[in-house]
Structure 1
Amino acid sequence: MTRGRASDPSPRQLRLLIVLAEELHFGRAAQRLFISQPVLSRQIRALEETLGLTLVERSTRRVELTAAGEDLLPHARAMVEAADELRRAAEAAGRAGALSARLVLGAYVTALPVIRTIVEYAHERHPGLEVELRDVGFVDQTQALLEGWADAVLCFGPVPPGIQAMELAAEPRIVCLPAGHPLAARDRVTLADLAGLPVIGLAESLPRAWRDYWAADPRPDGSAVRYTDHGATTIESIVAAVGLGQGISFTAGAAGELFPRPGIRYLEVADLSPAGALLTWAASRRDEPGLVALRGVVREVCATPAVARLGARWWDTPARPSAGP
C-alpha cells in the first residue's frame, strides 16, 4: 500500500482491528462485533488508508496481521483502553455532578469492615452522596424503612411486602446451643436432633413470617416449635438466654464469629437452607437517585469471589475496589 500522511484513526476502527487480530477471520470477527463482514472489511481498509499501512494480509484461506499490524496492535489496545477510561471518567463526573443526597444506612453491626468499605467507596464514587451509619436491630429493621428513619438496611431476610431487597451473599443458618448440652459436642446437627428443644421467643412486633423462618417453624415433619416467653429484641439478649440454658436459637453463620460468648456453642444445621444477606429499601422509594447510587456501590463492593461462596466471610471485605469505574 502506498504510504500517505498518517492521521488519527478512530477508536471504533481500532476496536475492529483488535477483534480481527483475535479471531483472524473476518466472518467470526464480524459476528462478534454485530456488523456485516463487508462493513468490517471496509472499515479495516479505511484504517489502513488513514495510517498509510497495510495491516492485514487477506487470502481466500486465512487472515494474518502484517509485521506493521503486529507492531501497531499494542498501541491500538492502549488507545482503546484510554478512550474507555475517558468515557468512564466522564460518566463518573456526570454522576458526581448530578447527585447530591444524604442517606441513612442501617445495620445490626455498623462496624463491620464491609460496611465501612461501602461508605468510603460511596464517597469516592459519588462525592455528593453522604452516607450516615445507624445501628438497626432485627426488631425495627422493617419499621425503619417503612417509616423513613433509615433509607436502606443491611440485614437478613425474609422481607415483608413493601420492602425490596438485593442479595449480597448466602449465609448458612446455624443453631446456638448451651455449651453444656449433649448436642454441643457434635460438629453438626439436624432439625430432627433439635426436636422438642424450646426456641428463644422473639418480640411479637416482628413479622410472623420472619419469626417462623428463624425458628424453622414448622419443622419438616410438620410439628410446631415450642417457644420461650422471652420476647427477645436483640442478639445479645438471645445469646444470654441460650447461655443460661433457657433455650436454643437459630442465627446466620456470621454470628458464630461476630458474637462468640462463654457458655454457648454454634453448630451447623445440616438440613437448613441458607439465608440471604440483603440490602433492603422501601419499594416506594426504589428509583430515588441516592438509593440507585447506593445499590450500585454495594453491588461493586460485594462483587468478589468470596461473596459467591456459601458461608464465606463476605462481611469482612479487606479493601476497597479500584477507585476507577
Structure 2
Amino acid sequence: MREPSVHQLRLLLAVAEELHFKRAAARMFISQPALSQQIRALEERLGIGLVERGGGGARLTTAGAAVVEEARSVVAAMERLLRVSDAQADAVRGELCVGSLGAEAAMPHARAVLAHLRDHHPHLRVEVRNLNFVEQFDALANGEVDAAFLRGPLPPGLQSVRLASEPRVVCLPADDPLAGETTLTLAQLADRTVVDMPRDVPRLWWDHLTVNPRPDGTPVRFGPVVRDTEAMVLAVLQARAITFLPAAARQLYPRPGLVYVDAPELGESESYLAWLPAHRDVLAVRALREAARATAQDREQRP
C-alpha cells in the first residue's frame, strides 16, 4: 500500500464537509472529475472504500468516517510543520556585533533585548563588544559595531529606541565632607573638580552630563581625563575628582571608599539602543530593533 498524499487527504476532508463533489471541487479550486479521480486514487492507495456517490451527493462509508478523523490530525500536523519551517526560513542568520558603553549590556533592559533576540532568532550569532567613552560613537560611525547600547544624549545622525530611564547620582570619595548627605545640590558641588573626557568625546555630550555650565553660569572645573567608567571611579577613589553616574552604578560599580549620593538636579539618565540610519534595514539590525521595541513596549504596559 502506498502512502496517501497530504493533498489527497485535504480533498477527502473537503468532500466529508461538503458531502457533495461539485461543491467540494469548487471549494478546492479543481474540476469535479479531477476531484473524483483523486478520491478514487486515495481509496486504491488505502485499499478501502471511503465515499459512496449518488445523485451528485456523497456519503462517507464507515471506513471513510474513521479515516477522516485521522486525516484531520495529519493535515493539522502538516500545517504546523509548514508554519515552523516558514518561521525558520524567515529566521535571521549570520552575525551581529552590538556595542556596549561600559556595563550597559549588563543592565536589565539590555539583557531583555538580547534575550528576546536570542529567543526569536536562535541562528543569529551575537557578539557584545565593550566600548569606552571615545569609542562609543566612532564604533558605530565606522561600522565596527552594527548597533550599540548607549546613554543619551545621542549625537545627530543616529537613530535609536529609548529603552529605560533612571535618576543620576553623584559619585564621591567616602571621606568627602558631603559623602554623608542624603541628597546634594549643584550649588553644594560648585567647588568640586569633576572628571573629564578626552578631546575625542563630543563635548556637548559631556557638558550635558556634567551640567556645564551650571544654572548660574559658572563653568565646571574639570580634572583628570578618563576613557572608561573603571578609570572614572578610580579617579574618584584617589580623591582627585567627583563624577556623575546613573543610579545603577551603585550595583555595577560598588567600591570600598566610594559613596553614591542622590542629586535630583542632575535629572534622568536615559538608555538607548542606537544604530546608523544606513544600517536600519540590515536583517540582523532590523531584528535587534524589533526586539528593542518589543521589550520597551512590554515595560511600558506593566502596571
Question: Could you say whether these structures have the same fold, taking a TM-score greater than 0.5 normalized by the shorter chain as the test?
Answer: yes
Aligned position for 1:179: 174
Is the 2:170–2:243 Cα contact (8 Å) retained in structure 1? Answer: yes
SS across alignment from 1:153? strand
Kindly indicate whether residue 209 of structure 2 is the aligned counterpart of residue 252 of structure 1: no
- Determine the C-alpha separation between the residues in 2 that align with 1:205 and 1:290: 29
How far residue 112 of structure 1 moved from its aligned partner, in angstroms, is: 4.8
- Which deviations, in whole Å up to 9, do the C-alpha atoms of 1:148-184 show, x marking residues without a partner? 1111111211111222221100121111011111111
Contact 2:133/2:197 (<8 A) preserved: no
Please point out which of 98, 104, 112 is paired with 1:105. Answer: 98
Secondary structure of 2:287's counterpart equals helix
CA deviation digits over 1:220-265, x for unaligned, max 9? Answer: 111110101x220011111111112111101111111100111111
Amino acid of the structure 2 residue aligned with 1:190: T
Partner of 1:231: 225
**2:34 alignment partner in structure 1:** none
Report SS of the residue matched to 2:225. coil
Structure 1-normalised TM-score?
Answer: 0.62
The structural deviation recorded for 1:119 is 3.5
Preserved CA contact (<8 Å) 2:168 2:263: yes
- Structure 1, residues 80-132: CA drift from partner, whole Å, max 9, x if none? xxxxxx99x94994475263341101112245565455434323212342211
Letter in 2 for 1:267: V
Q: Distance in 1 between matches of 2:231 and 2:296?
A: 30
Q: 1:92 to 1:234 in 2, by over 3 A?
A: farther
Counterpart of 2:193 (choices 195, 198, 211) is 198
* CA RMSD, Structure 1 to Structure 2 (Å): 2.9
Query: Structure 1 stretches of 5 or more lacking a match?
Result: 1-6, 9-85, 310-325
1:116 to 1:173, Cα distance in 2 relative to 1, 3 A: closer
- d(CA) in 1 for partners of 2:238 and 2:302? 36
Q: Is the 8 A contact 2:193 2:220 kept in 1?
A: yes
> Residues 271-318 of structure 1: CA distance to partner in whole angstroms, max 9, x if unpaired?
122021110111221222211110111233344448989xxxxxxxxx
Kindly indicate whether the alpha-carbon contact (under 8 Å) linking 2:170 and 2:244 is maintained by their aligned counterparts in 1.
yes
| Residue number in structure 1 paired with 2:51 | none
- CA deviations 1:3-62 (Å, max 9, x no partner) are xxxx79xxxxxxxxxxxxxxxxxxxxxxxxxxxxxxxxxxxxxxxxxxxxxxxxxxxxxx
Distance 1:95 1:268, change over 3 A: farther
| Aligned counterparts of 2:211 and 2:88: Cα–Cα separation in 1 | 44
The 1:234–1:308 alpha-carbon spacing in structure 2 relative to 1, beyond 3 Å, is: farther
Contact 2:109 2:164 in 1 (8 A): no
Secondary structure in structure 1 of the residue aligned to 2:178:
helix
* 1:60-71 equivalence runs, <5 A: none
Q: Which has the larger radius of gyration?
A: 2
% identity of equivalent residues: 36
AA in 2 matched with 1:138: F
Contact 1:177–1:242 (CA under 8 A) maintained in structure 2: yes
Q: Which one is further off, 285-294 or 121-130?
A: 121-130
Aligned to 1:140: 135
Greater mean alpha carbon deviation, residues 112-121 or residues 136-145: 112-121
TM-score by length of 2: 0.67
Q: Which residue of structure 1 lines up, in the alignment, with residue 288 of structure 2?
A: 294
Distance 2:131 2:301 in 1: 23
Does structure 2 retain, via aligned residues, the 8 Å contact 1:200–1:232? yes
Alpha-carbon separation, structure 2, partners of 1:259 and 1:295: 28
Which of residues 91, 114, 117 is equivalent to 1:122?
117
Residues in 1 aligned to 2:162 and 2:85: alpha-carbon distance in whole angstroms: 25
| 1:196 alignment partner, SS class | coil
